[in-house]
């Protein structure tokens, strides 16, 4: 009789911890332009290998190459660069405001700016995004007023959400930005439901759901894929793989055993894996999925490969669990630098114009912050009345809430 | 006027709303072609087409989650959870999402959804087909919770729920689907056709959410109840001869506290009856509110009769179910004090 080996549990572990040398040798980076662009009505089974490679447009020199290149004019690209720079400057200012005590908490999207801003460019007004807390770029690229976003963060008298939500959990129906939950994954089936409603209504609008690679472990992720697979509604299922879920690297969400993009295969949903730090690739892949959805061809899942260059939030210190300089070793680079290099290479940009734009963007953010602060900050100045706390629980305030408001004496 | 069973009345409510409002869509497990395991949606797919009445995957968090998305889009989804006992995978979507969309978005988004689900025991359903989970919903700020006890109310309340702009949990006592139930399992089942409240008008009417009904007038003791237990309480009052005033709450949130207060101040005594388990049940909330508002009118301690604090057993169902004997003893006790 042969004796069975003693069983042992596999607990995934990142390749490096603090003090070690950053190592992304496990992240295979194919050449830009290597992946072809299939027709939008492709049979999902014909592009299964797309989940294991990476769609990239910008090469190391800054040239746009391959089937997925083209489609954006110089003006669009400069606008895209500005959207990303504005998003980064906005984040920097709000981080500072948090450190100054003007708000309690902040979540930046440093290093991930291309994904939301380029994706938004592929959508139309009326389409609805179901974002997480790291897609502020959707609002900024849409052109939503920065002051309004800051007023939400400061929870001041102009905060449309009346001080009820954590900073950064915006809501704007007008801008196609669904109220951010703060719970993870719940918005994914909602995006599918919204898209189903659009299909039921014979509409032409589409939905775009967002989730991080960590939250793909939630059952809601799988619920959403089941419904998307069954009813084939016009929805884009974005998975932002920024490698880290607070302190848990992507292996803890299952990324060591399978690519997140490949999870769509079991549902027969076509899936792309894309360089998320490549503005042109993000736009092109988003547009492909948008066109599919708009043509009633159903859902697309897209894994955006990127790196969370900052802390998870202002309550997090990533030096406790990953090397301090890990971000500098990230093989896909910085999305702003890459688009800037491309623009210079095609003769549509210069270092001088870049410096000028940086100054403009910084001034715009500073101006907006001053205006927002004039309406109050978390602990200083005008704020929403406590009486509003009892509103909007229901459409009409029921008797028990009226009584509780009276008890509070407001 | 047509005499309908509870199943037919519920179906009629959806039929009526689907006919007059294109935004109303109905879905759930086995709800489409087959018409639901309790037949509540029978014929709706044939009449309104597959995109307005359809089968859903066995995935309650998905069912509630997509309903929220549809509601946010502007539809009026009516989703069926096959048994209330199955709702828990969808609970996060109800608590963290449906109940809070309006609040957290400052009124920008809301979820005008109805989640229907059969509840309660008395059908040998065991622990997974018998629960009465109303209290896990009434504790959530932003949800309305409704339980009809008869066909007339079922139709009017369901229409009101579909037209409501807030999320509504619509609990349907499955033991009442095809006839009233006095709580005597050994007695023959009487069909709804013989009950006055099975007279259901054609077309649209509403029973407003938040309005209780007096099922039996009396001066001795107020019985606060809802769903199946209103019928059991009526039987217990008849059998004991106690002059009980039986109030059918119909809607737990919003709660008709005025009707409760008026009755308790008249009788000076109060018995609360529900099938759900006792501890932290909705009866605890009722007892607290009666104490807060009617303490000086009370002549006796508030009594509660509820399901025992155990899972719903299969073979011991009738030892578990708070039947007329237990309710009757509580009525007498309330009167003796």
Which has the closest alpha carbon to B249: B167, B147, B150, B334? B147
pLDDT reported for residue A348: 98
A183 neighbourhood in chain B, CB within 8 Å: 92, 96-97
For residue B273, which phi and psi values (nearest 5 degrees)? -130, 120
**Alpha carbon of B256: minimum distance to chain A alpha carbons (Å):** 9
Check if the beta carbon of residue A82 is closer than 8 Å to that of residue A357: yes
How far apart CA A399 and CA B202 sit, in angstroms, is 32
CA–CA dist B48, B51 (Å, integer): 8
3 state SS for B208-251: CCCCCEEEECCCCEEEEECCHHHHHHHHHHHHHCCCEEEEECCE
Please list every residue in chain B whose beta carbon sits closer than 8 Å to the beta carbon of residue A224. 62, 65
Domain boundaries, chain A: 44-379, 386-410
Give CB contacts under 8 A, 24+ apart, made by B234-237: B234/B182, B235/B182, B235/B183, B235/B184, B235/B324, B235/B327, B236/B183, B236/B324, B236/B325, B236/B327, B236/B328, B236/B331, B237/B331
Chain A contact for B52 (CB, 8 A cutoff):
yes
| Annotation says B274 is catalytic | no
Count other C-beta atoms under 10 Å from residue A269's C-beta.
Answer: 19
Q: How many CB atoms lie within 10 A of CB B138?
A: 18
Give the one of B25, B57, B68 whose C-beta lies nearest to A226's C-beta: B57
User: Which among A219, A227, A398 is the nearest to B66, CB-wise?
Assistant: A227
Contacts of A201 in chain B (CB under 8 A): 73-75
The answer to whether the Cβ–Cβ distance between A161 and B104 falls below 8 Å is yes
Interface test with A, best of B69, B104, B167 (most A CBs within 10 A): B69
CA–CA distances in Å: residue A47 to residues A43, A51, A281:
7, 8, 17
| C-alpha dihedral (B30, B33, B38, B42), degrees to nearest 10 | 150
The first and second tokens of residue A97, run together, are: 């405001």
- Whose CA is closest to A298, among A180, A385, A192, A153? A192
Q: Which residues contact B305 (CB under 8 A, 6 or more apart)?
A: B271, B272, B273, B274, B322, B326, B327, B330
Identify the CATH assignment for B2-200 out of 3.30.70.1050, 3.40.50.970, 3.40.50.1980, 3.40.50.1110: 3.40.50.970
**Inter-CA distances, A255 with A183, A214, A258, A259, Å:** 21, 9, 5, 6
Tokens of A222: 């799988």
The whole-angstrom separation of Cα A29 and Cα A278 is: 12
Query: Which residues of chain A have a CB within 8 Å of the CB of B68?
Result: 189-190, 193
Q: Please name which of B119, B71, B64, B133 lies closest in space to residue B96, comparing C-alpha atoms.
A: B64
What is the DSSP pairing of strand B144-146 with strand B168-173?
parallel
Please report residues of B whose CB lies closer than 8 A to that of A186. 65, 92-93, 96-97
Whole-angstrom Cα distance, residue A249 to residue A185? 18
Q: What residues form DSSP beta bridges with B246?
A: B216, B223
CATH superfamily, domain at A44-379: Thiamin diphosphate (ThDP)-binding fold, Pyr/PP domains (3.40.50.970)
Is B213-336 the same fold as B2-200?
Answer: yes
What is the spatial distance between Cα B13 and Cα B220, in angstroms, rounded to a whole number? 37
**Are A247 and A301 a contacting pair, CB within 8 Å?**
no
Structure tokens that stand for B245 in this block: 């005033």
Question: What pLDDT shows up at residue B337?
Answer: 85
Residue A2: predicted pLDDT:
74
Q: Is B255 on the interface with A (CB under 8 A)?
A: yes
Residues of A in contact with B261 (CB under 8 A): none
Cβ contact (<8 Å) for A394 and B102? yes
Q: Which residues of B touch A161 (CB under 8 A)?
A: 104-106
Q: Tokens at residue B74, please?
A: 């502007």
The rounded Cα A211 to chain-centroid distance in angstroms is: 8
Which of B24, B53, B62, B63 to substitute to test the interface with A, most A CBs within 10 Å? B62
Average pLDDT of the residues of chain B: 98
Q: Do A164 and B93 touch (CB under 8 A)?
A: no
Helix (H) or strand (E) holding A136: helix A136-142
What is the SS3 assignment for A142? helix
Q: What are the residue ranges spanned by the domains of chain B?
A: 2-200, 213-336
Consecutive 10-residue runs of chain A (410 residues): their mean pLDDT?
A: 89 96 95 98 97 98 97 97 98 98 98 98 98 98 98 98 97 98 97 98 98 98 98 98 97 95 98 98 98 98 98 96 96 98 98 98 98 98 94 97 96
Q: Tell whether B89 lies on the interface with A, counting CB pairs under 8 A.
A: yes
Residues of A within an 8 Å Cβ radius of B: 128, 130, 160-162, 164-165, 169, 171-173, 178-179, 181, 183, 186, 188-201, 207, 219-220, 223-224, 226-227, 230, 392-395, 398-400
Instruction: List CB contacts (< 8 A) between B73 and chain A.
Output: 128, 193-194, 197-198, 201
* Nearest CA among A130, A78, A125, A81 for reference residue A240: A130
DSSP run (H or E) holding B303: strand B303-307
DSSP annotation of B316 reads T
Of the residues B129, B139, B184, B231, only one is catalytic, namely B129
- Name the 3-class secondary structure at A87: helix
How close A6 comes to chain B (CA, Å)? 36
**Within the 149-188 window of chain B, which residues sit less than 8 Å (CB to CB) from chain A?**
164-166
The CA distance from B164 to B76, in Å, is 9
Question: How far apart, in whole angstroms, are the C-alpha atoms of residue B274 and residue B154?
Answer: 18
Chain B residues with CB under 8 Å of A189 CB are 61-62, 65-66, 68-69, 93
Check if the beta carbon of residue B243 is closer than 8 Å to that of residue B218: yes
- The closest alpha carbon to A64, from A342, A252, A360, A385, belongs to A342
Q: Quick one: how many helices (H) and strands (E) in chain B? A: 12, 14
CB contact under 8 A, B92 and A400: no
Cβ(B99)–Cβ(B139) under 8 Å?
no
Closest CA to A121 of A138, A104, A105: A138
Peptide bond into B254 cis (omega under 30): yes
Q: Is B142 in CB contact (< 8 Å) with chain A?
A: yes
| Cβ–Cβ below 8 Å for A395 and B255 | no
d(CA A378, CA A101): 8
| Measured distance CA(A338)–CA(A355) in Å, rounded | 15
Kindly determine whether residue A392 and residue B107, on different chains, have CB atoms separated by under 8 Å. Answer: yes
CB contact under 8 A, A186 and B75: no
Could you tell me if B53 lies within 8 Å of chain A, comparing CB atoms? no
Residue B157 near residue B251, CB atoms below 8 Å: yes
Cα(A380)–Cα(A382) distance, integer angstroms = 7
Nearest chain B residue (CA) to A392 = B103
Per-residue pLDDT of chain B in tens (337 residues, 90 and over written 9): 899 999 999 999 999 999 999 999 999 999 999 999 999 999 999 999 999 999 999 999 999 999 999 999 999 999 999 999 999 999 999 999 999 999 999 999 999 999 999 999 999 999 999 999 999 999 999 999 999 999 999 999 999 999 999 999 999 999 999 999 999 999 998 999 999 999 999 999 999 999 999 999 999 999 999 999 999 999 999 999 999 999 999 999 999 999 999 999 999 999 999 999 999 999 999 999 999 999 999 999 999 999 999 999 999 999 999 999 999 999 999 999 8
CATH number of B213-336: 3.40.50.920
Q: Among candidates A332, A272, A328, A325, which has minimal Cα distance to A306?
A: A332
Which of A162, A191, A219 minimises the CB distance to B69? A191
Provide the shortest C-alpha distance from residue B18 to chain A (in Å).
14
Assess B319–A contact: CB distance below 8 Å, yes or no: no
Which pLDDT score is estimated for A1?
61
State the CB neighbour count (10 A cutoff) for residue B20.
11
The Cα B112–Cα A394 span in angstroms is 11
pLDDT for position A61 = 97
Is B62 in contact with A224 (Cβ distance < 8 A)? yes
Closest Cβ–Cβ partner in A186, A198, A199 for B97: A186
Q: Supply B43's token pair.
A: 């014929």
CA distance A196 to chain B (A): 7
Helix (H) or strand (E) holding B13: helix B6-20
């Amino acid at each position: 009789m042969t004796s069975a080996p003693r069983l042992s549990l596999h607990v995934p572990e990142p390749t490096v911890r603090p003090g070690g040398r950053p190592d992304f040798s496990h992240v295979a980076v194919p050449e830009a332009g290597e992946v072809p662009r299939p027709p939008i009505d492709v049979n999902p089974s014909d592009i299964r290998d797309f989940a294991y490679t990476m769609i990239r447009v910008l090469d190391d020199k800054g040239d746009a190459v391959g089937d997925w290149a083209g489609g954006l004019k110089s003006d669009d690209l400069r606008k895209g660069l500005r959207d990303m720079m504005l998003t980064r400057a906005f984040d920097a200012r709000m981080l500072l405001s948090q450190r100054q005590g003007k708000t309690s908490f902040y979540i930046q999207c440093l290093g991930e700016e291309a994904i939301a801003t380029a994706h938004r460019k592929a959508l139309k007004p009326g389409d609805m995004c179901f974002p997480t807390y790291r897609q502020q770029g959707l609002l900024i690229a849409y052109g939503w007023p920065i002051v309004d976003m800051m007023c939400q963060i400061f929870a001041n008298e102009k905060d449309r959400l009346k001080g009820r939500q954590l900073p950064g959990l915006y809501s704007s129906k007008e801008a196609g930005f669904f109220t951010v939950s703060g719970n993870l994954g719940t918005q994914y089936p909602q995006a599918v439901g919204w898209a189903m409603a659009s299909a039921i209504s014979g509409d032409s609008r589409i939905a775009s759901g967002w989730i991080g690679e960590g939250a793909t472990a939630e059952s809601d992720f799988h619920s959403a894929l089941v419904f998307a697979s069954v009813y084939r509604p016009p929805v884009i299922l974005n998975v932002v793989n920024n490698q880290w879920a607070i302190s848990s690297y992507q292996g803890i969400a299952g990324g060591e055993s399978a690519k997140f993009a490949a999870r769509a295969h079991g549902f027969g949903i076509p899936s792309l894996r894309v360089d998320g730090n490549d503005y042109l690739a993000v736009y092109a892949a988003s547009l492909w999925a948008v066109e599919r959805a708009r043509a009633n061809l159903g859902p697309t899942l897209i894994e955006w490969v990127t790196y969370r260059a900052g802390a998870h939030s202002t309550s997090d210190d990533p030096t406790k669990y990953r090397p301090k300089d890990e971000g500098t070793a990230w093989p896909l680079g910085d999305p702003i630098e890459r688009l800037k290099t491309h623009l210079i290479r095609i003769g549509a940009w210069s270092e001088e114009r870049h410096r000028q734009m940086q100054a403009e963007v910084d001034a715009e953010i500073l101006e907006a912050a001053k205006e927002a602060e004039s309406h109050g900050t978390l602990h200083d100045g005008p704020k929403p009345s406590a009486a509003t706390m009892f509103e909007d629980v229901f459409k009409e305030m029921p008797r028990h809430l009226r009584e509780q408001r009276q008890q509070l004496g407001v | 006027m047509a005499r309908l069973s509870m199943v037919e009345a519920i179906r009629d409510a959806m039929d009526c709303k689907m006919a007059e409002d294109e935004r109303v869509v109905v879905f759930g497990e086995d709800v489409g072609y087959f018409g639901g395991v309790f037949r509540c949606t029978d014929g709706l797919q044939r009449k309104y087409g597959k995109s307005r009445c359809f089968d859903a995957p066995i995935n309650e968090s998905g069912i509630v989650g997509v309903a929220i998305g549809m509601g946010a889009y502007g539809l009026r989804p009516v989703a069926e959870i096959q048994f209330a006992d199955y709702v828990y995978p969808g609970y996060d979507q109800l608590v963290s999402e449906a109940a809070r969309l309006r609040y957290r978005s400052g009124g920008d988004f809301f979820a005008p959804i109805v989640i229907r689900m059969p509840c309660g025991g008395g059908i040998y359903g065991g622990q997974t087909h018998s629960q009465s989970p109303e209290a896990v919903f009434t504790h959530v700020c932003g949800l309305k919770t409704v339980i009809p006890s008869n066909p007339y109310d079922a139709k009017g309340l369901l229409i009101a729920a579909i037209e409501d702009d807030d999320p509504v949990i619509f609990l349907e006592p499955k033991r009442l689907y095809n006839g009233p139930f006095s709580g005597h399992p050994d007695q023959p089942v009487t069909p709804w056709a013989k009950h006055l409240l099975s007279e259901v008008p054609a077309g649209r009417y509403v029973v407003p959410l938040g309005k209780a009904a007096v099922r039996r007038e009396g001066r001795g003791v107020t019985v606060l109840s809802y769903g199946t237990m209103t019928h059991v309480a009526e039987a217990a009052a008849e059998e004991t001869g106690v002059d009980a005033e039986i109030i059918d709450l119909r809607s737990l949130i919003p709660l008709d506290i005025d009707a409760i207060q008026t009755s308790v101040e008249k009788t000076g005594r109060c018995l609360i009856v529900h099938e759900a388990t006792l501890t932290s049940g909705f009866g605890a909330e009722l007892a607290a509110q009666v104490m807060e508002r009617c303490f000086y009118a009370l002549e006796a301690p508030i009594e509660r009769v509820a399901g025992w604090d155990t899972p719903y057993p299969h073979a011991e169902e009738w030892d578990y179910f708070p039947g007329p004997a237990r309710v009757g003893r509580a009525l007498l006790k309330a009167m003796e004090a």
